[in-house]
Each structure stands twice: as C-alpha cells, then as structure tokens.
C-alpha cells in the first residue's frame, strides 16, 4: 500500500511537470505595435515574414500616426511605438516622469518626398516656394511658372510625424494654411494628388507611386535641386532625409528581442529595401 502511494505521487508529479512544460511551450507571446503610417507598411511586412517561422507570437500592428504611437506607449496601451520623427523634449520628460525607461531604435531611413500631379510642369521647388505654398501665401501654380491652376494643399493630420517634421524642416515652425486639406493616411494624399491637377502633398519615399510626380527640392541657397531617390538618400544628398524609429520600454526587451533581431537580420534588411526605404548600413550619416 505504501509503495502504491509513492508510485501514484511520482506519476502525479511527472504529470504536473509535463503539463507545465507543454503549457510553457504553447504559451503565446503577444506584441502590440502602434504609430507611424510611414513605417506601418514596412513593419507589417516584417511582422508577416517573422510570424511564418514564429507561430507562438501574436503581433497586432496598426497605424494612426507617430503621435498616436508615442501617446499609446506613454499610457501603456502598446508595446512598441512607431515614429517617423524624434521625440520632443516634452515627450522625453513625460516618459521620465512616468518612470518609463525607453529604448529608441533606429531601423531605416526615409526621404519625405514632395509630390504633385503628373500634368504639373513645375518639377523644382525651393524651400521658400514650399513655405509660400504650404502657408497659403501662394495659391496658384502660375506664380511658380506653372499653369493657371489653383493650388490644392494636401497634408497629413497633426497626429502625424510627417506633419510635424515638414512643419519644422520646411515651414520653420510656421503654421500651415487654413485651407490645407488634411488626411488620416498617406494613401489619401496620393489619391488626391493623382486626381487633382493643382494638388501638392508629401509622402514617404516608399509610398511614391507611378500615378504621381515627385519634385526635386533644395532647402539652402545653392539651387542644387535634389530628387528623392534611394541613391541620393544613401549618399546623404537629399535634404529631407529622416530616420524611422521603434520606441519601447526597456522592461519589455526580452519579449521583443527575437522580433527586433529579425528586422536587423539579412532577411529583415532585405525587406526594408523591398518596401523602398534605405537600410541603415547603406546610409552614410553626418
């Protein structure tokens, strides 16, 4: 009888251990990613490829803009924030006050590209031209050597990192025109610019389509107009180059490491090129 009890106890212990191992093996790792519409297509493809060989991960990814991602990370409703701009001093202080030790990971480079309708003959714009257009001081393309056509300004909403980046780098902090047409997603800008002869907007270089025309720009007094291309970006020539970031809390590093290492792998870097952005190791920084 005594030996029977011992055997039963041993079998029960073995069963519990095996059950625990199986549960651990079948455990789903959930990751939520929110933020930049510019980064969204890239991360979506990275996640799809990563998930093919890592089915224990359940990764949910959505856009909404850099500001949305950063605020979500701050209030604890996402694991990773995608951002097409650097954090502001105010945001850094907010994370500090919230006792959130964050890691800011640069994953690729983008060229914020100014686009016009394919029928538009204006193909070169200076910083002053862009500033005058987007602040509403110039409202007709004839003032820039183009057709007698009213300018329709298309922009992302203020929650977008592209909106903030363009405002800082091109408008020198001045406000956009009150007539600006704001959209939630870059695809809407592409559609408007492709359909409206007088439209102008800006999108990430990977979002450029054959239905629209990117223009060459210059932000200094050199009049050396530069076209948004991967070649010009990788050679550090294009003036509206910007890094793309993933931001997350250090305490979640272990959970995120495998996916982040995939992005840094040769396959992950290949995806960056396929989507149309510039890989970090192909970019010569200042």
Report d(CA 90, CA 93) in Å as an integer.
5
- What pLDDT is recorded for position 3? 52
Bridging pattern class, strands 216-218 and 113-117: unpaired
CATH number of 113-227: 3.40.190.10
Helix axes 66-74, 89-97, angle to 10 degrees: 20
Tell me: the pLDDT tens digits for 142-193?
999 999 999 999 999 999 999 999 999 999 999 999 999 999 889 999 999 9
Q: What is the pTM of this model?
A: 0.84
- What pLDDT is recorded for position 93? 97
Q: Which CATH superfamily is domain 15-109+243-282 in?
A: Periplasmic binding protein-like II (3.40.190.10)
Tokens of 201: 């907007």
- What pLDDT is recorded for position 284? 41
User: Could you tell me the pLDDT band of residue 27, with boundaries at 50, 70 and 90?
Assistant: confident
Bridging pattern class, strands 102-111 and 241-249: antiparallel
Report d(CA 263, CA 267) in Å as an integer.
7
User: Could you tell me the pLDDT band of residue 281, with boundaries at 50, 70 and 90?
Assistant: confident
What is the helix (H) or strand (E) element at residue 206, kind and residue range? none
- What pLDDT is recorded for position 134? 98
Tell me: the pLDDT tens digits for 113-126?
999 999 999 999 99
The answer to whether domain 15-109+243-282 and domain 113-227 are alike in fold is: yes
- Minimum mean pLDDT range among 49-53, 205-209, 239-243, 280-284: 280-284
CB 256 within 8 A of CB 179: no
Torsion from C-alpha of 244, 250, 251, 253, nearest 10 degrees: 60
What residues does each domain of the chain span? Answer: 15-109+243-282, 113-227
Radius of gyration of the chain (CA): 24
* Closest to 35 in 3D by CA, of 61, 63, 59: 63
């Amino acid at each position: 009888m005594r030996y029977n009890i011992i055997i039963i106890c041993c079998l029960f212990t073995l069963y519990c251990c095996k059950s625990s191992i199986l549960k651990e093996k079948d455990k789903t790792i959930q990751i939520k990613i929110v933020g930049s519409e510019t980064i969204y297509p890239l991360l979506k493809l990275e996640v799809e490829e990563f998930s093919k060989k890592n089915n224990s991960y359940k990764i949910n990814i959505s856009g909404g803009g850099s500001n949305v991602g950063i605020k979500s990370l701050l209030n604890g409703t996402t694991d990773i924030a995608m951002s097409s701009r650097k954090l502001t001093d105010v945001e850094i202080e907010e994370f500090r006050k919230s006792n959130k030790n964050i890691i800011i990971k640069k994953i690729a480079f983008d060229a914020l590209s100014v686009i016009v309708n394919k029928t538009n003959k204006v193909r070169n714009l200076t910083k002053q031209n862009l500033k005058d257009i987007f602040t509403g001081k110039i409202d007709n393309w004839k003032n820039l050597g183009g057709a007698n056509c009213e300018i329709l300004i298309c922009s992302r909403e203020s929650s977008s990192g592209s909106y903030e980046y363009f405002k800082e780098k091109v408008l020198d902090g001045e406000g956009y025109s009150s007539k600006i047409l704001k959209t939630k997603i870059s695809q809407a800008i592409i559609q408007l610019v492709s359909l409206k002869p007088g439209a102008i907007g800006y999108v990430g270089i990977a979002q450029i389509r054959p239905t629209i025309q990117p223009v060459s720009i210059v932000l200094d007094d050199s009049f050396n107009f530069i076209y948004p291309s991967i070649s010009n970006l990788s050679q550090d020539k294009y003036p509206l180059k910007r890094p793309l970031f993933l931001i997350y809390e250090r305490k979640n590093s272990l959970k995120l490491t495998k996916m982040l290492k995939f992005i840094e792998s040769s396959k992950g870097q290949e995806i960056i090129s396929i989507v149309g952005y510039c890989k970090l190791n192909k970019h010569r920084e200042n």
